[in-house]
Amino acid sequence: MYGHVHALAEAIAAGAREVPDTQVSVMQVPELVPEDALERTGAKATRAAFAHVPVAQPSQLAEADAIIFGTPTRFGNMCAQMRNFLDQTGGLWAKGALIGKIGSVFTSTGTQHGGQETTITSFHTTLLHHGMIIVGVPYSEPGLTNMNEITGGTPYGASTLAGSDGKRQPSENELTIARFQGRHVAGIARRLKLGAGGG
């Protein structure tokens, strides 16, 4: 709605693209908020800036070796748009189409203690039901231990603090953690694919 998840997604994509032979797509899930509500909250103009980002179809998840999901936090959980999207993956689950694929999650919260970790870890439940391999952000990324500023970033996944008014943009430390997550996930996915005899 306000560009925070998109900013992290672009940083994650940039990190993933650093891994050789990696193809990266940034996509969004369908919006569920009515137009008049978007207008009233001031989110409509921001959303227009992301009109060029393709809308994902659940079936496309099966085409990827790794999927890094981003969601804003709503009361310590994923947003309704993402939950709605994931609730449409029953057919993939029935076929086992995501078993063995890498899944990773990142988020944005309004405040420092707004549920970053609960949003990501509760998201993992769905990925585990799909048989996915969960990858987070290890402490080899030094930005996780940055005590010089208020910052997002967890071992479960990258995060940013949007501020209660949505005006704070991701910090360089948060973007660095996001780039690391993309590079880390893509590197593991590549090693798994090559180890399985893939190209």
Q: What are the pLDDT digits (tens) for 96-111?
A: 999 999 999 999 999 9
Task: Give me Rg for the CA atoms of the chain.
Answer: 16
List the beta strands (DSSP E) in the chain.
66-74, 77-78, 102-109, 133-134, 159-161
Residues 6+ apart with CB under 8 A from 24: 13, 16, 17, 182, 186
Give phi and psi for 72, each to the nearest 5.
-70, 160
| Residue ranges in the chain whose pLDDT is less than 50 | 199
pLDDT score recorded for residue 6: 95
pLDDT score recorded for residue 166: 87
User: pTM score, two decimals?
Assistant: 0.94
Spatial contact of 21 and 30, defined as CB atoms under 8 Å apart? no
pLDDT score recorded for residue 46: 74
